[in-house]
Structure 1
Amino acid sequence: MEHLQTLDGYFKENREEHLGQLKEFLRIPSISSLSEHKGDMKTAAEWLMNSFNSVGLENVSIDETDGHQVVYGDWLHAEGKPTILVYGHYDVQPVDPLNLWTSAPFEPEVRDNKLFARGASDDKGQVFMHVKAVEALMKESGSLPVNVKFIIEGEEEIGSPHLEKYIKENKDKLAADIIVISDTGMQGPGQPAVCYGLRGLTGVQIDVQGSQSDLHSGLYGGGVQNPIHALAEVLASFRDQEGTIAVDGFYDKVRPLSDEEREAYKALGFDEEALKEEVGVAELFGEKGFTYLEQTWARPTLEVNGIFGGFSGEGIKTVLPAEAGAKITCRLVPDQDPDEIVEKLKAHIEKHKPAGVTVKVSEFDKGKPFITPFDHPAIQAAGRSYEKIYNVPTAYTRGGGSIPIVAAFDEILGLPVVLMGFGLSSENFHAPNEHFHLENFDQGLRVIGDYYYEIAGFSKDDLKK
C-alpha cells in the first residue's frame, strides 16, 4: 500500500496543474462529425502526442487512417510483466443547442466541484486520467509496474468507422494482455462499478409499398391493402403480450445468466420503484422471469424506434397511403451474431407480411456483443482497486448499450476487456452542460495507478481468456 501513499501525495501536490492541463485539452473543439472542425481534430491529436511525450511514453506517433487520426504511445520496459492496452477517444459530440449551456462548452469552468465542458466526462477527462497516472508513476518511481500501450482515436462519436481496419493492420503493434477502457460510468455517486459486458446491436428498416401513389380512401378503401395496416400487422407479430420476442430462433444462442451473476445483480438493491418515478411510467414492462437489470443488461431486445407513412398534419386527410415504414433495432447478448439475427428478422417479415403489399428490408450497421468472464482476474483486480480508494464494495455490471469497437477489440485481438469508468449517468454527456464530478477525477487517478500495480501481480498466463 506504500504506492498508494506516494500516488496520493503526488496527485494532491499537482492537482491544480493537472486541472489546468485538462482545461487546455477541453478547450479544443474536436467535434469529429463536423467537417469544419477537421483542423481542431488535428490540434487535439497533437496535444495528446505532446502529452504522451511529456509523461515518458515512447514510440509516440500520430497514425493516419481513412478518417481522423489515431494517437499511439507505449512504455515497454517492465520485463516479464503483463501489457495493458489503454483505449479511449479524443473526439467529442456537437454542442447544440448552445442556448442551453450555462457556460460556453469549450471554456471549461469549475462549479460545485464539477468541471463543465464538452468532453469533460466523455471521454477527454477519463483519457487524461490514464495519462496522468503514468506521469505520477514515472515521476515517483522512474518506471511503471507494467507495460502500457495507448491507442486514442478520433472517431468514436461517429461510430469508429475506420478503427477496425487500423486494429487489423496493427495487430502486432497493439499486442497486449488486457484492454482497459475508461469510457463508461459508475453505478452511482460513490458507488464504483466494473462493466464486464455490453450488448451488441443490429437493426433494419422495413419499407412497405402498396399502390403506386396515395389513393382516395373513399374510392379505394376496403378494396386495396393499406400499407400502414400491413406494417402494423408485421410489427405486432414481433413480440407476444408478455414481451417475449416471437422471431423463430431469436433466442437460440443467448448465453444464460449464471447463478453468481444473478446474485450479484440482486445484491445491488436496484430500486425499480424509483426508476418508474424517474422515467414517469406507472409500471415496467419486459420479458417475464427476469428482473429489470437482467432484462436490460443480459437479455436481447427488439424495439420499434420509429414509424412513418400517411398523413400526420393538422386535421384529417382521407387518404389511403401508398407506403409506410418502420425502423427497428435489436440489442444482442453473447453469443448472438448480428448477421444471423438480421436473417431471422428478414425471414420473419417475409412470413408475416400481408397480401397486397411488397416489403423491402434494409440493414443498418451492426455491432457484436462482448463479455469478459465475470470472474476473470483482470475484472476482479479492477474491483479491488476501486474498493481500496472508495472504501465500498464494487458493483459488477453489464451495460445495456453498445460500443461496437469494444467487440472488435475482443474479436480481433482476443484479449479480455476491462471497462472501468468514472463518469456518472447524470453528467449530461452528449447533452448541454456536460460535466465531470471532480471527486471521481481525484479518486479515479488513484484507482488507475493502483490497478497498474494489481495487474503487475499476475503472470501473462493468468490473464489469458
Structure 2
Amino acid sequence: MSNDRNKIIKSIEKYFDDGEFIKDLNLLIESKTESQIDNSLETLNNYFLNHLTPSLNKYGFKTEISDNPNPKAGPLLIAERIENKDLPTILIYGHSDVVVGQEDEWDRGLDPWNLTIKEDKIFGRGTADNKGQHWIIISSLQHVIKETGNLGFNCKILIESDEEMGSRGLYDFCASRSDDLSADVLIASDGPRVDPDKATIVLGSRGLINFEMSLHLRKGSHHSGNWGGLISDPGIILSNAISSIVDQRGQIMIPSWKPNSLNNEIRDIIKKLKISGGSNSPPIDENWGEIDLSPEERVFGWNSFSVLAMDLGDIERTQNAIAPSARAICQLRYVVGTNPDDILPSLKKHLIEKGYKDIKVRPSRMSSMKATRLDHNNYWAKLTNYSIQKTLGKPAAVVPNIGGSIPNDVFMNTLNLSTIWIPHSYPGCSQHAPNEHMLSSIAREGLQIMTGLFWDIGNDLPK
C-alpha cells in the first residue's frame, strides 16, 4: 500500500516537474474571468464550459453548469463522481472568478493573463486566488484516478464564479441544492499558509462586515475663510467618531466587539503559530493592535477594525471650502465568540452615547460573511494532519481560523459540514494586487499534499 501511495505522489511530482501543471494552469489563467466588471457572465460561463467541464468529464465526473439565483452574478458548476453510496463523500469548493487584471500596473515583462515564471514565483492573475489552488485539487484527484482507476470515495465539486463580488447567490444556491451537495466533509483550498515554508490546515475563518458611516450636514460647500469656526466640519466630526471606535493603536473600544472565545485551549493552538509573509510582506507593527496579545493572537484569536476608504471633497482639486458631507467605508473582521447580529446595533448605540447621533450607519457592498471555527479535535482535522505528516515527514500548522474571510459559513452552517481548508498560497502573494503570484515550491508541495490526502481517504483511513 505504501508503495502505491509513493508511486502516485511521484507521478504528481513528475506532472509538475515536466511543466504540465504550468501548461494546464495557463489555459485557465488566459480566461479573463473578472466578475467585478460588467458583461462578464459569458466569460465566466465559458471558463466552466471550455475548461473545467472537459477536464472533469474525462475522469468520470458528471457536470452541470447552473444559473446563479442572483441574475447579476455568474454561474456555478457542480460536478459529481459517485463510486459507491456506502463510501464517504468529499465536497470540494473553489471559485473561478478573479479581481480586475490591473494590466497597466504590473511590473515590466509581466502579463496578468499569461503565466510568467521568475525564480520561485509563478506570476498571473488567479494563480493564488483561486485558479491555481483549485487546479491543484482537481489535478490531484485526476492523478489518483489515473493511477488506481478509482478514488475510493465519492467526490462532489462546487465551483462558483462570484466570490470576488461577495459570493452573491451562493447561500441560496446551496440551500436549494443541499441534497445534491450533501457530503461528509468539505475540503477546499483558498487563502494563504501561515508561513510559506509550513503546510497549513485552516479550521475556519474570521467573519466580515463592511459598513458605511456617513454624515450629511447641509447643501453645498462653504468658503473656509468666511465660515471656518462658524459651521461644523463633517470631516472632523466623522474622524473623531471613528477615533472613538478604536484608540491610537487600533485597540477596539466597543465592549461588544471584543470576542469571548480566546480561551486557554485556543491560545495553546495559536502559540504554535508564527506569522511570516515572506520577503514581499510588510514588517509587523509590534505597537499596533491589542496590547496584551501576540501578533498571532491578534489575527487568529481577536477582532480588528479597519477604515477602507474615506470620501471628503476632491483631494486632486482641493478647494478652500468646508464640505457639506463626509463618509467612510469601514470593516470589522471578527472571530467566533462575537455576536454578528449586534455589531451594527452596538455601533449605533456607541455613536449616540458619544454624541454622534447624526452619523448614519448602514451595511455596504460585500457586507457580510459569518465567522466559523471547527473543533481541532474533529476527526477530519486529525486525518488531514496525519496525512500531511505522512507525506512531508512533519506536521502541518493548525490554524483555528484564517485572518481573512471566506464563505465557509455556507458549508458549516447551511450544509452542516465539517470544513477543512488547506491553502497553497502565502501572505506575500500580492493577491488582489498587481504582480499576483504563487510560489512554485508551494504549488509542488500542494500537489503532493492533496494527492497523498486523497489516496489516504480512499485507501488508508485510520480507525
Q: How does the TM-score come out when normalised to structure 1? A: 0.88
Aligned counterpart for 1:293 among listed residues 277, 292, 296? 296
Q: Deviations over 1:372-424 (max 9, x none)?
A: 11222212222222223333331112311112x21122110111111101112
Distance between the aligned counterparts of 2:182 and 2:304, measured in 1? Answer: 34
Q: How does 1:135-284 map to 2 (within 5 A)?
A: 135-240=142-247, 243-251=250-258, 254-270=259-275, 279=282, 283-284=286-287
Distance between the aligned counterparts of 1:270 and 1:99, measured in 2? Answer: 28
2:335 is matched with 333
CA contact (8 A) 2:286 2:295 kept: no
Amino acid across the alignment from 1:68: G
2:97 is matched with 91
CA drift of 1:453 comes to 3.9
Q: Deviations over 1:118-155 (max 9, x none)?
A: 22222112212222222222222221122110011111
1:54 is matched with 58
Distance between the aligned counterparts of 2:236 and 2:146, measured in 1? Answer: 68
Amino acid across the alignment from 1:170: R
Q: Deviations over 1:232-262 (max 9, x none)?
A: 33223223456442325333xx242242432
CA drift of 1:278 comes to 5.6
1:64 is matched with 67
The alignment status of 1:80 with 2:105, answered yes or no, reads no
Task: Please state whether the residue corresponding to 2:359 is helix, strand or coil.
Answer: strand
Aligned counterpart for 1:435 among listed residues 427, 434, 437? 437
Amino acid across the alignment from 1:321: A
Task: Please state whether the residue corresponding to 1:263 is helix, strand or coil.
Answer: helix
CA contact (8 A) 2:220 2:324 kept: yes
Amino acid across the alignment from 1:69: P
- The RMSD of aligned alpha carbons is 2.8
1:395 is matched with 397
Structure 1 stretches lacking a partner, 5+ long: none
Distance 1:387 1:327, change over 3 A: same
Q: Which moved more, 1:436-445 or 1:329-338?
A: 436-445
Task: Please state whether the residue corresponding to 1:358 is helix, strand or coil.
Answer: coil
Amino acid across the alignment from 2:137: H
Distance 1:44 1:197, change over 3 A: same
* Paired residue total: 451
Aligned counterpart for 2:137 among listed residues 114, 130, 134? 130
Distance between the aligned counterparts of 2:222 and 2:437, measured in 1? Answer: 52
CA contact (8 A) 1:89 1:155 kept: yes
CA drift of 1:179 comes to 0.7
2:7 is matched with 6
Distance between the aligned counterparts of 1:323 and 1:54, measured in 2? Answer: 58
Distance 1:234 1:427, change over 3 A: closer
Task: Please state whether the residue corresponding to 2:175 is helix, strand or coil.
Answer: helix
CA drift of 1:293 comes to 0.9
CA contact (8 A) 2:270 2:300 kept: no
Distance 1:268 1:136, change over 3 A: same
Distance between the aligned counterparts of 1:371 and 1:349, measured in 2? Answer: 31
2:381 is matched with 379
The alignment status of 1:20 with 2:27, answered yes or no, reads no
Task: Please state whether the residue corresponding to 2:78 is helix, strand or coil.
Answer: strand
Q: Deviations over 1:197-240 (max 9, x none)?
A: 21111132222232333334455444443323332332232234
1:361 is matched with 361
Distance between the aligned counterparts of 1:10 and 1:389, measured in 2? Answer: 14
CA contact (8 A) 1:82 1:458 kept: no
Aligned counterpart for 1:32 among listed residues 30, 35, 38? 35
Distance between the aligned counterparts of 1:388 and 1:348, measured in 2? Answer: 51
CA contact (8 A) 1:382 1:420 kept: no
Q: Deviations over 1:309-344 (max 9, x none)?
A: 357567872x44322222221111113233321111
Distance between the aligned counterparts of 2:276 and 2:140, measured in 1? Answer: 35
Distance between the aligned counterparts of 1:374 and 1:183, measured in 2? Answer: 19
Structure 2 stretches lacking a partner, 5+ long: none
Distance between the aligned counterparts of 2:48 and 2:65, measured in 1? Answer: 7
- State, as a whole percentage, how many aligned pairs show the same letter: 24
Distance between the aligned counterparts of 2:239 and 2:122, measured in 1? Answer: 47
Distance between the aligned counterparts of 1:241 and 1:91, measured in 2? Answer: 37
CA contact (8 A) 1:215 1:321 kept: yes
CA contact (8 A) 2:88 2:154 kept: yes
CA drift of 1:299 comes to 0.7
CA contact (8 A) 1:389 1:443 kept: no
Q: Deviations over 1:76-108 (max 9, x none)?
A: 224433211000012222211335242322222
